[in-house]
Amino acid sequence: MITKRITLIFVSLFIVFSLQLKADEGMWLLSLIQHQKYNEMQAMGLKLTPEQIYDINNSSLKDAIIQFGRGCTGSIISEEGLILTNHHCGYSQIQFHSSVEHDYLKNGFWAESKAEELPNEGLTARFLVRIDDVTQKILRELNDTMSESERAAKIREVSSKLESEAIKDTHYEASVSTFFEGNEFYLMVYEVFKDVRLVAAPPSSIGKFGADTDNWMWPRHTADFSLFRVYMSPDGKPATYSENNIPYKPKHFLPFSIKGLEKNDFTMTIGYPGSTNRYLTSYGIREAIDRSNPTIVKIREKKLAIMREDMDLSDAVRIQYAAKYAQTSNYWKYFIGQTRGLKRLNVYERKRALENDFIQWVNSNAEARRRYTDIVPSIGRAYELLREFSQARWYFMEAIARGGELIMFSRRFESLYNEIKKADKDPVKIERMSSSLRASLNDFYKDYNLETDKKIFIAMLQMYYADVPSNLQPALLGQIHTKYRGDFNKYATYVYSKTIFADKSKVEAFLNRPNAQILEKDPVFKLMQASFTSYFDMLEKMKTGSEFLSKASRLFVAGLREMQSDRIFYPDANSTMRLSYGRVLDYYPADGVYYNYFTTVDGILEKEDPNNWEFVVDQKLKELIKNRDFGRYAKNGVMHVNFISNNDITGGNSGSPVINGEGQLVGLAFDGNWEAMSGDIVFEPDVQRTISVDARYILFIIDKYAGAQHIINELNIVE
Under the banding of pLDDT at 50, 70 and 90, the label for residue 8 is very low
Give the other-Cβ count within 10 Å of 94's Cβ.
Answer: 26
| Per-residue pLDDT, 11 | 36
Active site residues: 88, 224, 654
The yes-or-no verdict on residue 12 having pLDDT over 70 is no
Between CA 508 and CA 511 the distance in angstroms is: 5
Under the banding of pLDDT at 50, 70 and 90, the label for residue 1 is very low
Under the banding of pLDDT at 50, 70 and 90, the label for residue 192 is very high
Task: Give Rg (Cα) of the chain.
Answer: 27
Write out the E strands in 141-280: 173-179, 184-193, 195-201, 226-232, 246-247, 256-257, 266-271
Q: How many CA within 13 A on the CB side of residue 426?
A: 8
Q: What is the mean pLDDT of the chain?
A: 95
Q: What is the mean pLDDT of residues 471-483?
A: 96
Supply the DSSP symbol for 502: G
Under the banding of pLDDT at 50, 70 and 90, the label for residue 457 is very high
Question: What residue segments make up the domains of the chain, in order of their start?
Answer: 21-124+194-277+572-718, 126-193, 347-561
Q: What φ, ψ does residue 223 adopt, rounded to 5°? A: -95, 70
| Per-residue pLDDT, 20 | 40
The yes-or-no verdict on residue 517 having pLDDT over 80 is yes
Query: pLDDT tens across 66-86, in order?
Result: 999 989 999 999 999 999 999
Q: What is the mean pLDDT of residues 107-112?
A: 98
| Per-residue pLDDT, 506 | 97
| Per-residue pLDDT, 16 | 39
The yes-or-no verdict on residue 2 having pLDDT over 50 is no
Query: pLDDT tens across 301-324, in order?
Result: 999 999 999 999 999 999 999 999
The yes-or-no verdict on residue 18 having pLDDT over 60 is no
Under the banding of pLDDT at 50, 70 and 90, the label for residue 252 is very high
Write out the E strands in 393-435: none
Supply the DSSP symbol for 638: B
Is the overall model pTM greater than 0.85, yes or no? yes
| Per-residue pLDDT, 42 | 96
Longest dimension (CA), the chain: 96
The yes-or-no verdict on residue 634 having pLDDT over 60 is yes
The yes-or-no verdict on residue 22 having pLDDT over 90 is no
Under the banding of pLDDT at 50, 70 and 90, the label for residue 619 is very high
Between CA 678 and CA 347 the distance in angstroms is: 8
Query: pLDDT tens across 254-279, in order?
Result: 999 999 999 999 999 999 999 999 99
CATH of 21-124+194-277+572-718, one of 2.40.10.120, 2.60.40.10, 3.40.47.10, 2.30.30.240: 2.40.10.120
Which of 239, 250, 229 has its CA nearest to residue 119? 229
Under the banding of pLDDT at 50, 70 and 90, the label for residue 10 is very low
Which of 196, 195, 173, 177 has its CA nearest to residue 185? 177
Q: What is the mean pLDDT of residues 167-187?
A: 97
Which of 85, 174, 189, 181 has its CA nearest to residue 129? 189
**CA 305, 619, 256 angle in degrees (round to 5)?**
90
The yes-or-no verdict on residue 19 having pLDDT over 80 is no
Between CA 207 and CA 430 the distance in angstroms is: 44
